[in-house]
Amino acid sequence: MSYSSMKELDDQALVHRELQLERELMDTRFRLKTGQLEDSSRMAKLRKDIARARTMQRERERAQSLSRNSLRDLHRSSFKPGAINTEGEGAAGGFLKGIVDKVTPAE
């Protein structure tokens, strides 16, 4: 997600986007360790997107004269994992489905 498209998001959506990206990064790390990750550049892309989101949050906090991480603290409780549709390999726990499919015996 580009910086300009993040500018269009409201505060809550921006925080939720960052939290979703953090989940995707964790999922991608897991996939890398288990040998399921096909595109290793995905991790770098996710880290950069997280940095963009945090930079945008900090800019908004400064503009509103808020303390550091106050937007994240304010909107974190309303975040529901998987509610935001994202593209890419780590979208909404897709790697868990792959693991379940491998572990579950075929009928």
Residues lower than pLDDT 50 in the chain:
84-92
pTM of the model: 0.73
Q: What is the structure's pLDDT at 102?
A: 58
Counted residue by residue, the chain has a size of 107
User: Residue 80: its pLDDT value, please?
Assistant: 86
Q: What is the pLDDT of residue 100?
A: 57
Domain boundaries along the sequence of the chain: 3-77+88-103
- 8 A C-beta contact, residue 2 and residue 56: no
CA dist list (Å): 46 to 2, 58, 59, 96, 104:
12, 18, 20, 19, 30
